[in-house]
Amino acid sequence: MRLLSISSGKVAPLFGNHHPDYKSVASAIVKTRVSDLDNPNLIEITKLGVKGDEQADLSVHGGLEKAIYVYPAEHYPFWNTLLTRETKKTVDLQPGAMGENFTIEGLLETEVFIGDQLHIGDLKFAVVKLREPCFKFNAKMGYKGAAKAMLQSGFCGWYLRVIQTGFIAAGATIAVVPGARQTSIAEQNQNLMGRRNQQDLWE
């Protein structure tokens, strides 16, 4: 298990016709890689996440409890195939495209539980919760069914709280220190999908 890349972004207008009330909305979902396997730059991680990274809506992203968004690289082929089919354009997403800060390999939602710790390099993080996609994700992907596809596939990724700050670079190894292991990220996703289906909350 290892960290493939680190990405950060600034708040900027996000355009898309994927919500009845918005034509443009502020978002920092567009991320740029600042450390990857080709250029493993050391990046500072603070209690609020990747130094320099921004969030437009702190009620749903960022802060101490959602400082880092993690996404498994294993899911990228699914998105490339889906988006190529639905948008009728060739899509080849690169790490960071899901809006994640850490793109990782070797660890999936079925294997990560709320309360687990991830030791990445010399730094320590706690698993907090899954990512809940919204209309901004649809706009970023250019496909109005992207948020629904994320929940239905279970390929949601998860948020981390920073326990130990410091510097980290792409290529760092990841170790899982189990917590109580009562609810996995995959199980939390299934519970959320059930509530959305019952309440008809799809964007």
Average pLDDT, the chain: 92
Q: Check pLDDT > 80 for residue 139.
A: yes
Q: Check pLDDT > 90 for residue 7.
A: yes
Closest-CA residue to 73 (of 15, 155, 138) = 155
Query: In the prediction, which pLDDT does 24 show?
Result: 73
Rounded Cα distance between 46 and 8, Å, is: 13
Closest-CA residue to 116 (of 185, 47, 198) = 185
pLDDT in tens, 90-100: 999 999 999 99
Q: Check pLDDT > 50 for residue 141.
A: yes
Split at pLDDT 50, 70, 90, the class of 20 is low
pLDDT in tens, 55-84: 887 777 789 999 999 999 999 999 999 999
Q: What is the pTM (predicted TM-score) of this model?
A: 0.92
Q: Walk me through the domains of the chain, giving residue ranges and CATH numbers.
A: 2-199 (2.40.33.20)
